Amino acid sequence: MNEQEETKTAQILVRISEEERDEWKVAAEKLGISMSELIRNSVAPVVQETLHCSHPEEYRRSYPWAEFCDRCEARLSG
């Protein structure tokens, strides 16, 4: 296990079929990464897009007490 993997200690359980697991394993091997890394790399962009606004500045409203995105209605600060 490399140093970067050692810092990741939280775990999740994902129920998939044996066939899916085998496919995921082969895909990870072809990419030269672990299955954990394959899953993290696949999920991380979805989480980023869902939880963190990535819209350009022109969609933002700023006030002294808070900043908002008019596109996704996220409260960005304050």
Domain boundaries of the chain, sorted by first residue:
15-77
DSSP3 helix / strand / coil % (the chain, rounded to 5): 50, 10, 40
**Residue 78 token pair:** 């304050």
**Residue 27 token pair:** 């895909």
> What is the pTM (predicted TM-score) of this model?
0.65
Highest mean pLDDT among 10-19, 47-56, 68-77: 10-19
Under the banding of pLDDT at 50, 70 and 90, the label for residue 16 is very high
58-75 mean pLDDT = 88
Average pLDDT, the chain: 88
pLDDT value at 78 more than 90 = no
Q: In 10 A of CB 37, how many CB atoms?
A: 16
